[in-house]
Chains A and B, each alone.
Chain A
Amino acid sequence: MADLGRAALIVTLGLVLWATLAGALAARFGRRRLADSAGNALLAALASTAVASLVLLGALLRHDFSFTYVADHTSTKLARAYSVSAFWGGQEGSLLLWLLVLCGYGAAAVLLNRRRAPDVVAWTVPVLGAVATFFAFLLVAVASPFATQTAPPEGAGLNPSLQNPYMLAHPPLLYLGYVGLTVPFAFGMGSLLAGRADERWIVATRRWTLVAWTALGIGQLLGSHWAYVEVGWGGYYAWDPVENAALMPWLAATAFLHSVMIQEKRGMLKVWNMLLVLLAFGLSLFGTFLTRSGVVNSIHSFTQSSIGPWFLGFICFVVVCSLALVFWRLPLLRSKTRLESLVSREATFLYNNLLLVAFCLTVLWGVAFPMLSEAVRGEPRTLGGPYYNFFLRTFGLPLLLLMGIGPLVAWRRASLRSVGRTFLWPFSFAVAVGVGLIALGAGSSLPGLLAYTFSAFVLASIVLEFVRGTRAAGSFTLLVSRNRRRYGGYVVHAAVVLFAIGVAGSAYGSSREAKLRPGESMHVGSYTLVYRSAGTTRVANANETRARVDVVRGGERVATVFPGKNQYFAERQVSNEMAIHTDWLRAEDVDVIADQINANGTIYFKALVKPLVNFLWIAGVVFLLGALIALWPDAREQRRLVARYALAQG
């Protein structure tokens, strides 16, 4: 069946090439049937890529080790669900997933918009086709998932840390996010190529951008939770380049989602929005490059990687061509209106944009620094946690504050008197919370104290917005249903506040390490951990060694946890299995890690108390809720937009 997979990918390559070349010719010379044919090629490419994906999935589920990819990433002992997740566990499978999702997005975008904005879609198809051509070419010529060999009796298995339920959802969501950012990019560039200065491309891609941004956000949170429960070091984010690879496009997309509102409401920032959409897409490519080229594991692996140079070349091509296009169309993108006041809603959006982009570029510098330092000085130097944490505080705290200020300020211009009046309640509440926190001893960490005080301010301003809005609209349901994007956005802001509370909680955590014999205990925070015993059980694919540890608080046993290690047979790897006790009343976790298990029965334990860490995961649920509210279709707005564009089409 590998032949079918290979052939399907060759068919896909032919189709996306046709979509690119025929699409460009059709758009240039205004040929409708050729444009329809190019759009259909994207639909057909989805079908042929789906066939290739089914071939690979079938081989993974059958453990057909004649496929090199299957032998390298599965074993007969691997659970069926993880045989599925092995699809995106390796480079070739990930690239195939990229292409499949891209063809899916492209086909859907073409189907939904080809009759509404035919001239923009005509130019969008070749842009989507060009991106798909790059990935199809990689899969056909450079990194095929359908390479075959003489089947070995057993496969190498899947990396143990990837054998986790989160890995079933985390990578596909990230890919939905990364690839989804291709749609606004392609429409933006399509609009420029078509010579359109209006907002048609923004209207067409608003929901696509939100879907991609939501998927990227939720994907990152799932990844953080996976790191927290699976990687076994007691943290959830390590500023690892691969983690940063997903954060950067999300930050750029967040800036875009805000600034695009200014273009819609004021007709401003057209060039900035084009640059942001390019930045978000470029960073999603860069993120895939970082994750898949091997450049982040070792600077030297770059030269060994088969796809790294191709990726770097493609990123440069995309950036140079897009910048040239924006430059060419600058006269079209000139704004007729100006910012009226530095105290206005759009001004706060602008500050928010500058901070988000500055933070994004700071992270990019941190990621690129090892590569640049090696190129210049011959040895890679990495920028660690302190660098990122400094800029997180520098840009994150003002961003948090702006989330509270923005909703309280009127559009266009606001007088200081009005601002003072609307700020009174949230400001008073935040000051009261800040004073209360100092009294409770939270002043030990200034960033933590500021984060909580600002969070109180933001929450108060959001509540105030809902209360005043409900009074003005006459009903809560009416208020939200008629302003879904705005109030969905406020719910997302509330999620960011919960997230900030969770992150700031780490400033008040405690940790302890100790080597214990059975019966001995250690103290961490207000807890005592008593190591009772240890034992090993054999499961299908691993030996599981677990310590039995009682968690005692105030002289009373509150839980028993089982930290330990798994020794995987096929993979010949050992994984740390951290144990977590969640105390919902005290809003904190006790994490116990059996760092070193000795043959004489002693274990070197590491224990951490993490206050408020669960706010991060609650934030994910609230974030999803807010995004769904914002995404929900608004029939009134749809009718208005249909009327607007029908009028313009004549």
Chain B
Amino acid sequence: MTAALVLAGLLAMACVVLVAVPFLREPAPPDDTLAAPGELARRQLELTEERDRALAALKELEFDHRTGKISDVDYRAAVGEYRHRAAAALKALEPRLEEHPRRVRARD
């Protein structure tokens, strides 16, 4: 009984220490704010996902054409539109990429 309670006490103490560790670190971090993407970063992430989707779609189209799922005629009809979408996604992201270093400098 006593040994069990001692062990339980040690377990509880170890757990409390682990939970308290972020507050015990010295020196305390100057900024306690949780990193979360701001409005700009969220928009940038959306654009990046759109870009990745557009490029993946283009890649899929090429692969489907090579494996014979899409005929030459259908491929020619679709590839232009797909390239346009991919280019649009890349273009939409470009100004953000340019803004990025400025944003970092501004923060510095």
The 4 closest A-B pairs by CB, nearest first: A7-B8, A648-B45, A119-B36, A36-B22
Using A11-B15, A37-B23 as known contacts, say yes or no to A647 and B48 having CB atoms under 8 A apart: yes
Q: Cβ of B88 < 8 Å from any Cβ of A?
A: no
**Do residues A198 and B46 form an inter-chain contact, with CB atoms below 8 A?**
yes
Rounded to whole angstroms, the CA-CA distance of A41 and B21 in the bound complex is 10
**Do residues B71 and A421 form an inter-chain contact, with CB atoms below 8 A?**
yes
**CB-nearest residue of chain A to B33:** A30
Using A11-B8, A648-B41 as known contacts, say yes or no to A415 and B35 having CB atoms under 8 A apart: no
Q: Cβ of B61 < 8 Å from any Cβ of A?
A: yes
**Do residues A644 and B49 form an inter-chain contact, with CB atoms below 8 A?**
yes
Rounded to whole angstroms, the CA-CA distance of A11 and B14 in the bound complex is 11
**Do residues A44 and B19 form an inter-chain contact, with CB atoms below 8 A?**
yes
- Which residues 40-92 in B have Cβ within 8 Å of A in the complex? 41-42, 44-46, 48-50, 52-53, 56-57, 60-61, 63-64, 66-71, 74, 78
Q: Cβ of A391 < 8 Å from any Cβ of B?
A: no
* Contacts A/B (CB < 8 Å), 13 sampled: A32-B22, A33-B29, A34-B22, A40-B21, A45-B15, A122-B34, A409-B69, A410-B60, A411-B60, A411-B64, A414-B70, A421-B68, A644-B45
Using A408-B69, A422-B68 as known contacts, say yes or no to A44 and B35 having CB atoms under 8 A apart: no
Rounded to whole angstroms, the CA-CA distance of A34 and B20 in the bound complex is 9
**Do residues A7 and B69 form an inter-chain contact, with CB atoms below 8 A?**
no
**Do residues A43 and B18 form an inter-chain contact, with CB atoms below 8 A?**
yes
A-side contacts of B69, CB under 8 Å: 408-410, 414, 418, 422
- Which residues 509-540 in A have Cβ within 8 Å of B in the complex? none
A-side contacts of B61, CB under 8 Å: 410-412
Of the candidates B14, B45, B50, the one having the most CB atoms from chain A within 10 angstroms of its own CB is: B45
**Do residues B34 and A30 form an inter-chain contact, with CB atoms below 8 A?**
yes
Residue ranges of B at the interface with A (Cβ–Cβ < 8 Å): 1, 4-5, 7-8, 11-12, 14-15, 18-23, 29, 31-37, 41-42, 44-46, 48-50, 52-53, 56-57, 60-61, 63-64, 66-71, 74, 78, 100, 103-104
Residue ranges of A at the interface with B (Cβ–Cβ < 8 Å): 1-4, 7-8, 11, 15, 18, 26-27, 30-37, 40-41, 43-45, 47-48, 51, 118-119, 122, 194, 196-200, 264-267, 408-415, 417-418, 421-422, 465, 468-469, 471-472, 640, 644-645, 647-650
Among B8, B34, B74, the residue within 8 A (CB) of A31 is B34
B-side contacts of A47, CB under 8 Å: 11, 14-15, 18
**CB-nearest residue of chain A to B35:** A118
Rounded to whole angstroms, the CA-CA distance of A36 and B1 in the bound complex is 34
Rounded to whole angstroms, the CA-CA distance of A122 and B32 in the bound complex is 14
Using A472-B66, A647-B44 as known contacts, say yes or no to A30 and B29 having CB atoms under 8 A apart: no
**CB-nearest residue of chain A to B40:** A650
Other than the given A32-B34, A418-B71, A640-B52, 12 more pairs (CB < 8 A) read A4-B7, A44-B15, A119-B34, A119-B37, A410-B64, A411-B57, A414-B70, A469-B63, A471-B67, A644-B49, A648-B42, A648-B48
A-side contacts of B56, CB under 8 Å: 265
Using A44-B18, A265-B57 as known contacts, say yes or no to A7 and B4 having CB atoms under 8 A apart: yes
**Do residues B34 and A41 form an inter-chain contact, with CB atoms below 8 A?**
no
Of the candidates A2, A35, A410, A415, the one having the most CB atoms from chain B within 10 angstroms of its own CB is: A410
B-side contacts of A408, CB under 8 Å: 69
Rounded to whole angstroms, the CA-CA distance of A27 and B78 in the bound complex is 45
**Do residues A194 and B22 form an inter-chain contact, with CB atoms below 8 A?**
no
**Do residues A27 and B34 form an inter-chain contact, with CB atoms below 8 A?**
yes
Rounded to whole angstroms, the CA-CA distance of A264 and B56 in the bound complex is 10
A-side contacts of B104, CB under 8 Å: 650
**CB-nearest residue of chain B to A415:** B74
Rounded to whole angstroms, the CA-CA distance of A11 and B61 in the bound complex is 55
Among B11, B31, B36, the residue within 8 A (CB) of A8 is B11
B-side contacts of A471, CB under 8 Å: 66-67
**Do residues B4 and A4 form an inter-chain contact, with CB atoms below 8 A?**
yes
**Do residues B19 and A15 form an inter-chain contact, with CB atoms below 8 A?**
yes
Of the candidates B31, B42, B44, B69, the one having the most CB atoms from chain A within 10 angstroms of its own CB is: B69
**Do residues B57 and A644 form an inter-chain contact, with CB atoms below 8 A?**
no
Rounded to whole angstroms, the CA-CA distance of A211 and B65 in the bound complex is 33
**Do residues A472 and B35 form an inter-chain contact, with CB atoms below 8 A?**
no
Min CB distance B89 to A, Å, is: 11
A-side contacts of B41, CB under 8 Å: 648-650
**Do residues B12 and A7 form an inter-chain contact, with CB atoms below 8 A?**
yes
Min CB distance A409 to B, Å, is: 7
A-side contacts of B18, CB under 8 Å: 40-41, 43-44, 47
Rounded to whole angstroms, the CA-CA distance of A248 and B14 in the bound complex is 40
Among A27, A30, A40, A468, the residue within 8 A (CB) of B19 is A40
Rounded to whole angstroms, the CA-CA distance of A276 and B14 in the bound complex is 39
B-side contacts of A199, CB under 8 Å: 49
Using A266-B53, A418-B69 as known contacts, say yes or no to A33 and B4 having CB atoms under 8 A apart: no
**Do residues A650 and B37 form an inter-chain contact, with CB atoms below 8 A?**
yes
Among B4, B33, B42, B71, the residue within 8 A (CB) of A196 is B42
**CB-nearest residue of chain B to A3:** B4
Rounded to whole angstroms, the CA-CA distance of A222 and B43 in the bound complex is 47
Min CB distance B63 to A, Å, is: 6
Min CB distance A38 to B, Å, is: 8
**CB-nearest residue of chain A to B60:** A411
Rounded to whole angstroms, the CA-CA distance of A418 and B68 in the bound complex is 8
Using A472-B66, A648-B41 as known contacts, say yes or no to A417 and B71 having CB atoms under 8 A apart: yes
Rounded to whole angstroms, the CA-CA distance of A45 and B18 in the bound complex is 10
B-side contacts of A119, CB under 8 Å: 34-37
**Do residues A11 and B12 form an inter-chain contact, with CB atoms below 8 A?**
yes
**CB-nearest residue of chain A to B44:** A648
**Do residues B11 and A48 form an inter-chain contact, with CB atoms below 8 A?**
yes
**Do residues B11 and A40 form an inter-chain contact, with CB atoms below 8 A?**
no
Min CB distance B96 to A, Å, is: 9
Min CB distance B38 to A, Å, is: 8
**CB-nearest residue of chain B to A264:** B53
B-side contacts of A266, CB under 8 Å: 53
B-side contacts of A196, CB under 8 Å: 42
Among A48, A418, A644, A650, the residue within 8 A (CB) of B48 is A644
B-side contacts of A35, CB under 8 Å: 34
Min CB distance A490 to B, Å, is: 13
**Do residues A37 and B19 form an inter-chain contact, with CB atoms below 8 A?**
yes
Min CB distance A483 to B, Å, is: 9
B-side contacts of A417, CB under 8 Å: 71, 74
Min CB distance B104 to A, Å, is: 7
Min CB distance B66 to A, Å, is: 4
Using A414-B70, A422-B68, A649-B41 as known contacts, say yes or no to A197 and B57 having CB atoms under 8 A apart: no
B-side contacts of A15, CB under 8 Å: 15, 19
A-side contacts of B35, CB under 8 Å: 32, 118-119, 649
Min CB distance B40 to A, Å, is: 8
**Do residues B71 and A118 form an inter-chain contact, with CB atoms below 8 A?**
no
**Do residues A650 and B103 form an inter-chain contact, with CB atoms below 8 A?**
yes
Rounded to whole angstroms, the CA-CA distance of A374 and B42 in the bound complex is 51
